[in-house]
Structures are given as structure tokens and as C-alpha cells.
Structure 1
Amino acid sequence: MNRRALFPSLLLASLPLLVGCPSAPKTVGPPQVRVAFFPNVTHAAALYASQKGLFASRVGSAGRVEERVFKAGPEEIEALFAGEVDLGYIGPGPAVTGYLKSKGAALQIIAGASSGGAALVVRKDAAITSLKELAGKRVAVPQKGGTQDISLRHALQTAGLAAKDKGGSVDVVQFAPADVLSLFQRGELDAAWLPEPWVARLESELGAKVVLDEKSLWPGGRFSTAVVIVRSEFLKAHPELVEKLLAAHQDAVKAIQAQPDAAREAIGAKLKALTGKALPDPLLKTALSRTEITADPLKESILTFADWSKDLGYLREGREALTGLVKE
């Protein structure tokens, strides 16, 4: 074929590309909704809502709910920063840190989840009966910068002590709560500041003793141990989905308050599914009795956590920089 005959053929072949080919319409499914929580009693509302399918039923066909489980707050905050978590249950310490680290852009607290349910527990043969006797001891927290870490370090300050990384004598180390059980058993830890049900498990399974219930440090014994946060970009893009998720959370809180025995069964079933271990009902009952499940964020205690974090050197700013943290 000569060049003159070839040119019209190429032109005709390219016309569909020039004018655009009709294509099948793209199908866009409902948005993905990533909900995060821990296998802790302080996250009982999330555990109950998950076990009973409340998140999925409230969201319905408007979204696709995916649940993600974390062991500590700082790692959940990093996942939120990466856009991998949309709504999460978390301690107030990491929530405050995440808010300030992002200059208020990354997240907001939209509800409370629990009050109490955290304590300093010591190995049965450790001969520790007070905070002052933690000098020279090895004490575990779930993660550095987490809520229990902040509470422990503040309590040490009040007792005239400090962690080794701050020039003191208390060796504060981080371990997942499940690992603390085996470390207590081997005598490699003297104490731990943990949330429930891990405190009750250490008591029941290893004979550990509670030296200090964190409630004793707070006015009226009420303080935030878990809140519900939402990724700001997700809230802006899908406010209706956030409302549905918040409704599921409130449903769970009301159900736990109204029917604690039935709720405990559901919470226990979810904990077993997540950890592979069924908790004896009396143990779970004890853990829940130390924990108030509430949708009240207990804002003043959150601001106090911010002040403690600043004093400890974790933050440069305190409560004055948290104007928009708690959604009104």
C-alpha cells in the first residue's frame, strides 16, 4: 500500500480516539468506613456495637463498615493520619497528641466512651504497697505516650519519682497488655499501669494486687479513659455517616447501661473472638464494675491530660491550644 492510501486509513482508525469512544458508566460503590477500637473493657461500647452489628445496621447501604483492632493509641493515631481509620475509640492522651501534632486539622472528639477502668497492679511477690515503692522497679504501660503512660508518669511526679528516661529510677517500659501477663509470670516485671480487663486478669490468673485505682487521683472519681474520635476529612466528606456511627455508639452505651448482664455476654463474646481467650464471667463482671460506660467525653479531664502531657514534655502546648478538640 502506498503512503497516500495509508494516510486516510490511519485517519479513519484514529477517529474514535479523537472524538471519544462511548464507554460503560463507572459504578461507584458506597464509601468504606473504617472503625477502630481495642480489645479492652474501656472500649466496651465498641465491642458491644461490633458484636451486635450496630455499626453495620446503622450505616446500612450508605457505607461499607470495616473494623480494625489496635493494641495502643499512638499506633491508631498514626493509622488515622495515614487515612486508614475514619472513626476510632482511643484514650484521651493520644487523641490530644494527635490533635496538636496536626495543628487541629486531623481529628475531633465527638463523644466519650468510658470513665475509669485503669489501675496500677503489682506482682504478688513484688512487695510494693505504694507509689513511692516503685523506685528502682520495672513498670509496664501499653505504649509510650498512651493514656496509661501519661497517668503513670504524672503519678510518679506526685510521689517525687521519675522514669529513667527523665533522670529518675523507675524503669518504665512498653508492652502489649497480653504480653504483660507472661512477663509477670516470669518475674520480669514488677508492676503495670493497665486498663481493664487486664487488671482483673492479672488479679485472677496470677494473684496480682491493685495498689492504686486511678479513680483515686481524680475529683469525684470520674475521668476519661476512652473517647470516640473522627478523622476530620471523613467528617467533612460524610457527615451523615458520622451521625449514623455516633447513633450506633449511643445505642451501645444505652444498652450496656440498661441491661448490663446481657451486654456483658456480648462484650465477652467479642473479646473471645479478638483475643482467642474466653474471660470467666465473674472476672469480666469485676472489670466492668470498675468501668463506667458513658457517652460523656468528660472534657475537663481531657484538658487535664493535656496539661500533664505538657508537664511531662510530650507536648509543647496544653489546654489553651485545644479549643476545637471536643465537638460541641
Structure 2
Amino acid sequence: MRVSPTPLRAVAAALAVGLAATACGGDAEGAAADALTLGYFPNITHAPALVGVERGILDGALGDVELSTQTFQNGPDAVNAVFSGEVDAAFLGPNPAVNGWSQSEGEALHVIAGAATQGTGLVVRDTIETVDDLPGHTFSTPMLGGTQDVALRWFAQEQGWDVDTAGGGDLSIIPQDNPDTVDAFRLGEIDGAWIPEPHLSRVLAEDDAHLLVDEPDLWPRTDGQYVTTLLVVSTAYLEDNPRAVADLLRGHVESVDWINGHPEEAAETSRTHLDELTGGELDPELTTAAFENVTFTVDPVAPSLLVQAEQAEAIGLLDPVDLNGIYALDPLNDVLAEAGHEPVAGLEG
């Protein structure tokens, strides 16, 4: 991401040296690792992680591999954790995944599965009745250069509006952690936000809020489907521990299948886990509403990732990047075949 390249590139350079060393020392027979650290966000769009951890599905699938977890509030922090080896795999938004691929020149990570599509949009105050009313107001996104940030900036550019990374222009766009966005809207500090679930539903629950842009409406080329969460793994871990990665994917597929087979129970399980992570109490009705806005699937919806990268390039937040090779879907498709599911495709078909 061009807006803050130095830390990522420094870590990526160190990573390249580390990969050269580990490439010769990997386990040729694919013996299981001793441990795996998984990163994810306290968002409904990361429900496969919430459910997989809370119900012990991922832990059970990994067997003797010890599972530990770490949560993040934004994509760049999670990507840096993958770069540094702090986490081995992570659930990420598409733009942070692309940024990590770009900054490490394809060395740091690979996308090994999808996790969720949809579940995002622009919620605004009732005084903003149409898109034409947006200029002159202040809006929040989770992180500069993150997935929802790119979506809002691209949308603004499509309307012919100027915005900058310092909060100026026709729209003022400021980065905030998702929980802070809910409070900022309630206090009148912002006029709206492009955010993921469950924070979207939390803001919509305010008396003076409504959904102005439902993001699926902006994706006619993919029938309203666009990836919001991917599962990535560090290249080093994938090369050294293929069995552990396959077991992680077995747990991930099982978690997504369980969510889709038990949506009400999955919403409650996710709410319980979110409360444990945040110390808050998410309204059960809001959790259910948030779940209805998200589609959970291991399909990474590869065409949408390409479009999202092109949008980030067009607004100046990403250098041109070749995404060929970013997907490593063979392990997932092996697991899907075992489970009797259809295979999924990357950019190469």
C-alpha cells in the first residue's frame, strides 16, 4: 500500500531472506507442525473463525497441532503479523491480502480459501437522503487502504468527487476502528461510515440512520457477490507444514458447512465469541440481522479480488500488481473433494 510502504517493505525484505533459508529446510514428507497461530477480526464477516474457534472445530481438525489465536482490528496489522511470523495464517479482507502480496513481491503469503462475501455498505444519517447529499460530510472507514476504505474512495471517484488521504476533499474520509465508529456516529462526530457487519447493523440500529449504499448493488458483474474475507497462510508455513494447512482447511470447510446448516445457532455462537473478545454484549437481534447480510463460503470469488485490486490502483492506494500466483487452492480443493463438494477456482481458472 503506497500510503505507508516503509514498514511493510522492510519486513518483506527480511522475509525474503527467511524464505530462502526455510525453503531448504522444509519437511519434504509434510509432517505435521507442532503449533499454528491463527489471526482473525471480531467481525461477523469473520464468522468462520468465530465459530471454528468457539466450537472447537478448528482445534479438533488440527489434532496434535496446538492452535493459538490472535485478534486484530485492521488488515495492515494482521498482514504485518503474517510477515513477522507472529501468526501463521489469518482471515483478512481482500485489499490487505493484495497489499501483502504486492509489498512482498509475492513472497509472503498465499490465499488458500474464501470465508465470506457481502456484509458491507454505506450507512448514513437520515438527513443524507441521496448520494448527491454526501459531499461536505464526514465519513469513517476501518483503515486507510483497507477493503471498505477502497470501496468508499472508489465510489467517490465514480461520482466525480475529489478525496485525499488526509481527510480533505469533497468528502472527508477518516480511519477509525469499527467499535469507535459506532460511538462516533452516536456522538455526532461523523455522518456515516462504510463498514462491515456487525458494525453496519449496530449503526443502522441508531434512530437517525439508514443504509444509503448496499454494496452488493455495485457488483452486477458477479451477481452481487464480492469477497469480504479470505483465509491466507504464510508461504513459509505452507511450504514447511502442508499437513497442518490441510487440517486447518478441513476445519474451515467444516465450520462454513456448519454455519450454513445452522444459521440461527451460528449467529448465537458468533455473538458469544464476540462478547468474549470485546467484553461487550451484542444484541441478539442485531447479530441475526448481520448474519442475514453475509454469505459464508470457501469460494474466494477470485474475479472480485481482481476488480478490488484494480480499484485500489485507480485511486492511488496500490501500485500495479500481478496477482497470478496469489491463490494456492489445491489443498482446499483436495479437502473439498474429500467432503463431496465442488472445487473452487482462482484467477487461472
Judge same fold: TM > 0.5, yes or no.
yes
Q: Which residue of structure 2 aligns with residue 176 of structure 1?
A: 177
Corresponding position: 1:43 with 2:46: yes
Deviation at 1:128, TM superposition (A): 1.2
- The one of 91, 94, 97 equivalent to 1:92 is 94
Q: Which segments of 5 or more consecutive residues in structure 2 lack a partner in the other structure?
A: 1-31, 330-349
Detail structure 1 runs of 4+ shifted over 3 Å in the superposition.
Answer: 164-167
1:160-239 equivalences in 2 (<5 Å): 160-165=160-165, 168-219=169-220, 220-239=223-242
Measured in 2, the distance between the counterparts of 1:225 and 1:140 equals 18
Q: Which moved more, 1:157-166 or 1:251-260?
A: 157-166
Deviation at 1:60, TM superposition (A): 1.4
Corresponding position: 1:270 with 2:273: yes
1:100-179 equivalences in 2 (<5 Å): 100-124=102-126, 127-165=127-165, 168-179=169-180
Deviation at 1:164, TM superposition (A): 3.3
Measured in 2, the distance between the counterparts of 1:238 and 1:152 equals 38
The structure number with the bigger radius of gyration is 1
Q: Which residue of structure 2 aligns with residue 21 of structure 1?
A: none
Amino acid at match of 1:90: L
Partner-residue secondary structure (3-state), 1:295: coil
Measured in 2, the distance between the counterparts of 1:327 and 1:30 equals 19
Q: Cα distance 1:85–1:69, how it changes in 2: closer, same or farther (>3 A)?
A: same
Amino acid at match of 2:231: V
Deviation at 1:255, TM superposition (A): 0.3
Q: Which residue of structure 2 aligns with residue 64 of structure 1?
A: 66
Deviation at 1:93, TM superposition (A): 0.5
Measured in 2, the distance between the counterparts of 1:33 and 1:91 equals 20
Contact residue 184 and residue 190 of structure 1 kept, 8 A:
yes
Contact residue 33 and residue 241 of structure 2 kept, 8 A:
no
Contact residue 157 and residue 315 of structure 2 kept, 8 A:
no
* TM-score, normalised relative to structure 1: 0.87
Amino acid at match of 1:251: E
Q: Cα distance 1:135–1:146, how it changes in 2: closer, same or farther (>3 A)?
A: same
Aligned length: 295
Deviation at 1:288, TM superposition (A): 0.6
Measured in 1, the distance between the counterparts of 2:114 and 2:55 equals 20
Q: Which moved more, 1:275-284 or 1:79-88?
A: 275-284
Q: Which segments of 5 or more consecutive residues in structure 1 lack a partner in the other structure?
A: 1-28
Deviation at 1:269, TM superposition (A): 0.7
Deviation at 1:114, TM superposition (A): 0.5
Measured in 1, the distance between the counterparts of 2:122 and 2:129 equals 10
* Percent of aligned pairs sharing the same letter: 35
